[in-house]
Amino acid sequence: MSNDDLSAASVGTVIRPGDPEWESARRFHSGMGSPAAVIRASTVDDVRGAIRYASAERLEVMIRGGGHSAWGEVPGGLTLDISALDAISVEGTRVRVGGGARWGAVAHALAEHDLGLSSGDTASVGVGGLTLGGGIGWMVRAWGLACDQLVGAQLVTARGEVVEVTDASHPELLWALRGGGGNFGVVTRFDFEAHRLNGVVHAVYGIDADARPALRVLRDILADAPRELTVTYMDVPPMDPNAPAGATVTAVWIGTDEEAARRALAPLAEAPGVSEREFGVQSYPDVLLEAPEFDPDQPMPGFLGGNTLVADLDDDAIDRIVSFREANPASVVLLRSLGGAYGDVAQDDSAFPARNATWFAMAGAFDIPGMVDDDARARALAAWDAIEASGSGVYGNFTVSTDPSYAARIYPPATMARLAAVKRTWDPGNVFCRNHNVQPEGDGRPGSDGQAA
């Protein structure tokens, strides 16, 4: 099909380099892309037409919802923007969410019904990318991952067909959608089972001393804390626009029982160097962060580090996390509590790795030109390798890597083999490869079996 064929096809609005809207169309939340074309789909039929076109033209496809993914920066291919598919409907506790919706809008819609879903921490993050990659959120210990709340989906396949996916109709495909990424089609609607939620207790504590003692206390609290409690430790430099500078612990307690939350957090509040900064009841939507939009004039520097899912946050692991931040002035470290409902899900019941993990850890130094030399880069990477060695898996949603080999770090061999079998059924030509790619049968390259990519 030619460009004229694309314009004539039922694919939505087509935007190419040189068109008046090109600069805004290729811009996404995390950067500026350079695809061959951007298609803005406003209906499921538009999505079907776009995928059929991409298959016929052997184009790689990148699906954009919230737009926080680094895959938008990979040049060439077709960007399919489904952000207009953002309808949200609530029937009892069943919630149907368009594939292009963002979590802030979902949280506000659910709050009107005293409901909630465990989502990401940022309002502008897309429902699709977060859910398909797993989705660690503030309710992870009580309700599990975002993908654990997924009970069905509407999917446009690589052939442009629409499939309703449930445990009854396509159990293996739904299994793969629960953590296997965007490898299997375009999800145009997510069906979730929501939970009753009339508010949360939100608390923030500052740490103005060596963080190690406070983190040991925090680890011990979470070992047997009520599942209503989830916490995050962060230590960030002044340059990071996403959080206040310094070391903090943020806690979210499901429900409005401030006294119960205080009792659970009391040992932390009494730890050396810890001071309370915020404590009170909020609506859940107000807890979600508002991340700044990408500024082309101030692109983010490189990131020397990664993330890992930790089964046992022992004293050595805590020391490595804190030492990383101390050794790299321009760096960020993070710990998020897991366990509880997250660990209730058997490893084989979803594609998400490391259900034995009790903490999620991330650390990275910013690779700022003129501030970081080769020796500093090597030291930061070696320090990160020591942290990752204590983990038992990687969370794909929290990496900026577009390395094709990275999927093998996310999914253990048995999970990868099972995902590959699903991929061979639903996307044998690897049309959907702009992701942490699970390769179908063949050599794994787009179109390697003679079909479109």
Which of 285, 218, 228, 286 lies closest to 259, judged by CA?
228
Which of 212, 206, 177 lies closest to 349, judged by CA?
177
Rounded Cα–Cα distance for residues 363 and 381 (Å)? 10
Rounded Cα–Cα distance for residues 196 and 446 (Å)? 44
Q: Examine the pLDDT at 450 and tell me if it is beyond 50.
A: no
Radius of gyration of the chain (CA): 22
- 7 — pLDDT class (breaks 50, 70, 90): low
DSSP track, 185-222: -EEEEEEEE-EE-S-EEEEEEEE-S-HHHHHHHHHHHH
Q: Are strands 27-28 and 31-32 parallel, antiparallel or unpaired?
A: antiparallel
Strand, helix or coil for residue 104: helix
Q: CB neighbours (10 Å) of residue 259?
A: 8
Give me the count of residues in the chain. Answer: 453
Residues 6+ apart with CB under 8 A from 376: 328, 365
Q: CB neighbours (10 Å) of residue 209?
A: 13
Kindly list the structural domains of the chain, giving each domain's residue range(s) and its CATH number in brackets, ordered by start.
Answer: 3-81 (3.30.43.10), 88-196 (3.30.465.10), 200-398 (3.40.462.20)
Rounded Cα–Cα distance for residues 252 and 375 (Å)? 39
- 8 — pLDDT class (breaks 50, 70, 90): low
pLDDT digits (tens, 9 = 90+) for 369-378: 888 899 999 9
Which of 95, 356, 342, 325 lies closest to 230, judged by CA?
342
What's the chain's average pLDDT? 92
Percent over 90 (pLDDT), the chain: 82
What's at 183, amino acid-wise? N
Task: Give the pLDDT score at 371.
Answer: 84
- 345 — pLDDT class (breaks 50, 70, 90): very high
Q: Locate tokens 């103005």: which residue?
A: 208
Q: Which residues pair with 196 in a beta bridge?
A: 115
- 9 — pLDDT class (breaks 50, 70, 90): low
The Cα angle at residue 92 between residues 91 and 96, in degrees rounded to 5: 40
Summarize the confidence of residues 344-369 as an average pLDDT.
96
Token pair for 371: 């501030």
Task: Give the pLDDT score at 382.
Answer: 97
Q: Are strands 186-193 and 331-337 parallel, antiparallel or unpaired?
A: unpaired
With contact defined as beta carbons under 8 Å apart, do 243 and 236 qualify?
A: yes
Question: How far is C-alpha 441 from the geometric centre of its chain's CA atoms?
Answer: 27
Q: CB neighbours (10 Å) of residue 92?
A: 9
Q: Residue 297 gets which letter from DSSP?
A: T
Q: Which segments of 288-437 does DSSP mark as H helices, in order?
A: 315-327, 341-344, 374-388, 407-410, 413-426
Q: Are strands 78-81 and 37-40 parallel, antiparallel or unpaired?
A: parallel
Q: Examine the pLDDT at 12 and tell me if it is beyond 80.
A: yes
Task: Give the pLDDT score at 217.
Answer: 98
Residue 356 buriedness (CB in 10 A; 0-12 / 13-18 / 19+): middle
Which of 257, 255, 259, 267 lies closest to 205, judged by CA?
267
Summarize the confidence of residues 104-121 as an average pLDDT.
96
pLDDT digits (tens, 9 = 90+) for 177-224: 999 999 999 999 999 999 999 999 999 999 999 999 999 999 999 999
Summarize the confidence of residues 62-76 as an average pLDDT.
87
Summarize the confidence of residues 318-327 as an average pLDDT.
98
Task: Give the pLDDT score at 449.
Answer: 34
Task: Give the pLDDT score at 79.
Answer: 94
Rounded Cα–Cα distance for residues 187 and 165 (Å)? 10
- 1 — pLDDT class (breaks 50, 70, 90): very low
Rounded Cα–Cα distance for residues 97 and 190 (Å)? 5
Rounded Cα–Cα distance for residues 223 and 215 (Å)? 12
Task: Give the pLDDT score at 28.
Answer: 85
- 241 — pLDDT class (breaks 50, 70, 90): low
Task: Give the pLDDT score at 316.
Answer: 97
Token pair for 194: 């929501």
